[in-house]
Structure 1
Amino acid sequence: MDGVGAVVLDFYGTLVRMVRPLPPDHRGIFARRGLTAQGELWGDQWAVGPREGEEHSAYSADEVTYTAWERERLRRRARDCGVPREALDGLVDELDRAMKAIRLELFPDVREVLGALRRRGLLVGVCSNWFWNLEECVEEVGLGGAVDVVVGSARAGARKPHPLIYRALLDRCALPPERVLFVGDMWAPDVLGPLDAGMRAVHLHRPDRAVDGPAPPLPAGAARISGLDGLLTGAVVPGVAAGPGGCG
């Protein structure tokens, strides 16, 4: 088997974390509009987004279509919670802004590790379940010059672990799946999904991780690290630390 030619990393929880000030809580948004009871029915602030593994290619043709679909999902949820028709537009506008008002910072190990991977001749990519603006977010956190390929669910038409997003990723990398190493903190999207797509996988299980609970047993073809510097030891996948694997 050829060596690794690309290392692709998840974005949130792997490369970046959320920091204060946090996005506004939806209950406050509802309450300011006299809709406290409806806000309590809303449930989890983030649950209104596309589900893990959801395919939505019909809405991913362009940004206008995709963002209209996002807003319509918010509108339907608000109606189901009993929000009056005349209050929908303003509420949806504010909820949409609040969900995307996320302040991010890089984990301390990111710059050094990504730089080391590229110096070894490896293609470096990001693949994430995210809003339409993933490329802009990668730039804003300072990784624009450190990443070769960015694939987000909004533009790919499906969320990990749906096979469609991995096919889009492999097309962008221009490498066979066995030469791509996928790294991330989420079990199904970042480990099981990539393995099913023929890639190698590394489960990132940080001590300060956003995902609670013990790490599941590793399946064949996967490894586990507690920090991104584990990618540079050579113990994760032979060839990553040994030298260039080819970019394809």
Structure 2
Amino acid sequence: MPPVPARPVVPSGASPDAPPQVRAVVFDFYGTLARMVEPLPPEHRAIFDRRGLSAQGARWGDQWTVGPAEGEHHAAHSVSQSAYHHWELERLRRRARGCGVPERELEGLVGELDRAMKAVRLELFEDTRRVLGELRARGLLVGICSNWFWNLEDCLEEVGLGGAADVVVGSARAGARKPHPLIYRVLLERCALPARQVLFVGDMWAPDVLGPVGAGMRAVHLCRPDPAVLGSEPPLPDGAARIRGLDELLSLVPSGAAAGPAGCG
């Protein structure tokens, strides 16, 4: 499929020739800035099999869909790291019980499944550091907003992005997963900017395009030739553009787009 030219990202009702008044660029993390590499996390089915629970493992389902769902609100469980982890484990217990796992096997299995889900090895896409560095050099606030575990900041450090973003908002601490409106409210509060001055960049349609546009931001749909997560390319809504790599983003945010260095709230 040939590349889809990126349309200028301008406020609704503005002239297409008007320069984008962007003061912050916020990125999704997984699939946008980083991808998973081998060794991959242990398969859940293999964990069940090794514990003599093959029948229960067959009912368990896809290991990538057992966590919180897109758009899920969980603020009551995000008051602390311990409270959030307790909620994560309890979700796994309920699902395991529903699959017929005996109580005597429950705690060991749930603990191993929890560790397996988080045993993710990541590496940056080759354009990540270059583009984030260039945006900051232009005086723009750079943010990261991701549906992720409690340890998002630690993961950023591990892949070499420690200090690369002015604002980091993870779903675990924010209390909701994209595209729930709460996480975007938290993001905009942290950026201390009007939504129209924030550009959101990500590879997932609802969390990274429809959600941000609905919150008043503009959005860029990243469709890499080698996507970390397969997705569709629906028609773009007003206030959105589509790119094939992060380098293309630089043409949407010209030098001097920011009115001086953007501060972090």
Task: Say whether 1:36 aligns with 2:49.
Answer: no
Contact 1:57-1:157 within 8 A present in 2 as well: yes
Alignment of 1:8-157 (within 5 A): 8-157=26-175
CA deviation string 1:90-141 (max 9, x = no partner)? 0001000000000000000001000000000001000000000011111111
Deviation (angstroms), 1:210: 2.8
Task: Say whether 1:170 aligns with 2:213.
Answer: no
CA–CA distance in structure 1, aligned partners of residues 257 and 205 of structure 2:
28
Deviation (angstroms), 1:46: 1.9
CA deviation string 1:45-96 (max 9, x = no partner)? 0211111001000000000000000000000000000000000000001000
CA–CA distance in structure 2, aligned partners of residues 25 and 50 of structure 1:
18
2:255 aligns to what? 242
* Aligned positions, number: 243
Contact 1:231-1:241 within 8 A present in 2 as well: no
Deviation (angstroms), 1:242: 2.7
SS at match of 2:63: coil
User: Identity of aligned pairs, percent?
Assistant: 74
Query: Runs ≥4 in structure 1, deviation > 4 angstroms?
Result: none
CA–CA distance in structure 1, aligned partners of residues 103 and 231 of structure 2:
41
1:188 aligns to what? 206
Structure 1 unmatched runs, 5+: none
One-letter code of the match for 2:255?
Answer: A
CA–CA distance in structure 2, aligned partners of residues 218 and 210 of structure 1:
21
Q: 1:221 aligns with which of 217, 220, 239?
A: 239
CA–CA distance in structure 2, aligned partners of residues 242 and 150 of structure 1:
23
CA–CA distance in structure 1, aligned partners of residues 49 and 248 of structure 2:
46
CA–CA distance in structure 2, aligned partners of residues 123 and 140 of structure 1:
22
One-letter code of the match for 2:26?
Answer: V
CA–CA distance in structure 1, aligned partners of residues 255 and 136 of structure 2:
13
Deviation (angstroms), 1:212: 2.8
> What RMSD in Å do the two structures reach over aligned CA positions?
1.1
One-letter code of the match for 1:184?
Answer: G
Contact 1:42-1:77 within 8 A present in 2 as well: yes
Contact 2:205-2:231 within 8 A present in 1 as well: no
Structure 2 unmatched runs, 5+: 1-10, 12-19
Q: Give TM-score, length-normalised by structure 2.
A: 0.90
Q: Give TM-score, length-normalised by structure 1.
A: 0.96
CA–CA distance in structure 1, aligned partners of residues 167 and 257 of structure 2:
18
Q: Identify which range, 211-220 or 56-65, moves more after superposition.
A: 211-220
Contact 2:25-2:141 within 8 A present in 1 as well: yes
CA–CA distance in structure 2, aligned partners of residues 47 and 244 of structure 1:
40
CA deviation string 1:212-241 (max 9, x = no partner)? 3541110100000000001112xx3xxx22
2:177 aligns to what? 159
Contact 2:36-2:228 within 8 A present in 1 as well: no
CA deviation string 1:142-184 (max 9, x = no partner)? 1112111100000000000000000000011010000000000
